[in-house]
Amino acid sequence: MVYPVVVLFIAMAILSFLMIKIVPQFETIFSEMLNGVPLPEFTQFVLGISRAVKDHLLMMIGTGVVLFIAIKLAGRTSMGRLLIDKFKMKTPVFGDLVRKTAIARFTRTLGTLVSSGVPILQALTIVKEASGNRVVADAVGKIHDSVKEGESIVQPLEASGIFPPMVVSMVDVGESTGALPDMLMKIADNYEEEVDNAVSAMVSLLEPLMIIFLAVVVGGIVIALFLPMIKIITTLGQETSG
């Protein structure tokens, strides 16, 4: 994700430069040459955005920095981490990817530990600490408590609402047949492949989407600046012919 993030950062920097330095200069030129004649509505819209960015740039940057720090500080608290992780898992597109990544990490880690001879309770404790997601960690904690009381893994796994029915069914089969580690590894392989494919597809789509976004924005700015020039040229032509 480094490449698209860098490209997006550079693109936003260029757009900010256009809106802060270049567009205002055209506004001065238009006011001098049109002599009070109103600008096209689209041009006024672009100039309004330019003024807003220029006048409130520091405030917008400050707000972004404060929001980033607030999220980081909230992530260090138990409740804040839980809310952030829940939000991640419910966001469109990315939420499904986060969920699949968490499932792959859970099944891979637990399967590796159990197949290596680690007792199931100890393995679940390790998985809980290494989950990287508070929602998943809470679900693993409930699974640990259930197993500690002599119950099955399946019930708390299904009750968590995180794991799809297919995963629950495969774990149930693995637990019933004594092949839980192998079944967990198969689930991990499947979800890791899905995550890799999803990430590859998203990254491949980001570049054309960013190009289209930049083309639309820059093209809009160019059109907005050319509309008054056409009016100026038309006015000068009429005065010359007159």
225 with 174, same domain: the answer is no
Statement to judge: residues 72 and 106 lie in one domain? no
Structural domain including 26 reads 2-78+209-237
Do 62 and 24 have their domain in common? yes
179 phi and psi angles, rounded to 5 deg: -115, 40
Asked whether residue 99 falls in the same domain as residue 193, the answer is yes
Query: How many of the other CB atoms lie within 10 Å of CB of 137?
Result: 19
User: Would 202 be classed as within a structural domain?
Assistant: no
pLDDT in tens, 125-178: 888 888 778 888 888 888 888 888 877 788 888 887 788 888 888 888 888 888
The whole-angstrom separation of Cα 58 and Cα 67 is 14
- 111 and 67 housed in the same domain: no
Whether 89 and 95 have beta carbons less than 8 Å apart is answered as yes
Residue pair 110/123 in contact by the 8 Å Cβ criterion: yes
- Spatial contact of 94 and 88, defined as CB atoms under 8 Å apart: yes
CA distances from 145 to 110, 138, 156 (A): 16, 11, 9
Q: Are residues 163 and 99 in the same domain?
A: yes
Query: Do residues 25 and 112 share a domain?
Result: no
98 and 193 in a common domain? yes
| 184 shares a domain with 102 | yes
Residues 178 and 229 in one domain: no
Least confident of 5-9, 17-21, 193-197, 218-222: 5-9
Say which CATH number the domain at 169 has.
Answer: 1.20.81.30
| Count of the separate structural domains present in the chain | 2
Q: Whole-structure pTM over 0.75, yes or no?
A: no
